[in-house]
A = this chain, B = another copy of it.
Amino acid sequence: MLTLINNQDLSRLNRQEQILVTSLRLFTERGYFNTSIHDIQRESKVSIGSIYHYFKNKEGIARALFTGLVASMDEGMDRIDSQYASAHDRCRAVLAWLMELTRRSPAVMQFILYARHREFLPDEKPICSSGPFLKMKEMVKRGMDEGEIRRMDVTVASAALYGGAIRMIHLALDGVLVRPLESYLDDVWSCAWRSVAMGGEGEGRWGAEKAPA
């Protein structure tokens, strides 16, 4: 789904994909309720008949986008999980990846993080209870068990560790940052890790890419 969204050339996609890509753009630009089926028809160049052939209704389009993108993020978390050895490196990689995603596909981040899904997907769980977010929390928990992260309520630790970056992403999506989002990564991470890391001085035992001797 993520590769689909990043695809620039609408004409190379099939009908169903054209509908999804166009809808995501319109939903994030104007909001779900400010986007009519006629808008989607006009901008995707797919007829209304075809739209209702592929999707039960407007809500169905939103649901397909939501579940597809959440699944993509879930895979991303799994990839990170298997690629890094310490909680420190894993969580940092998550932040880096979320920031990269925000640059490459702002609409995706906006749709995942920002939209009030409950308003148009009444049966969907809140985003914070979805797979990728639970995995982020799980990484924090493992960090505690393995002694990298101070013992405390896992929810609080997750909020502290990821909260700052998520705020920066919101600010980026709102267009109020003066520099590119990713240029803040080092500073954001430094603050985030300090807030939960075991020990007291600076970035601590796990602060540097290579731990001191």
Contacts and interface: CB of A to CB of B under 8 A. Distances in A.
What are the 8 closest A-B residue pairs judged by CB atoms, nearest first?
A163-B163, A31-B119, A160-B191, A33-B33, A195-B195, A200-B201, A163-B164, A159-B167
A166 B168 contact: no
Interface size grouping (class) on chain A: 35 or more
- This chain: copies in complex: 2
B171 A128 contact: yes
Nearest to A158: B167
B153 A184 contact: yes
B166 A128 contact: no
20 contacts: A31-B33, A31-B116, A33-B33, A34-B119, A126-B175, A126-B176, A129-B176, A155-B168, A155-B184, A156-B187, A159-B164, A159-B165, A159-B168, A159-B171, A160-B164, A163-B163, A163-B165, A166-B167, A191-B195, A200-B201
A177 interface: yes
A170 interface: yes
Interface string A132-170: 000000000000000000001101111110111111101
Interface in A190-208: 191-192, 194-196, 200-202
A46 to B, nearest CB: 24
A177 B155 contact: yes
A12 interface: no
Chain B CB count within 10 A is highest, among A30, A34, A126, A194, for A194
A79 to B, nearest CB: 24
Interface in A26-41: 30-31, 33-34
A188 interface: yes
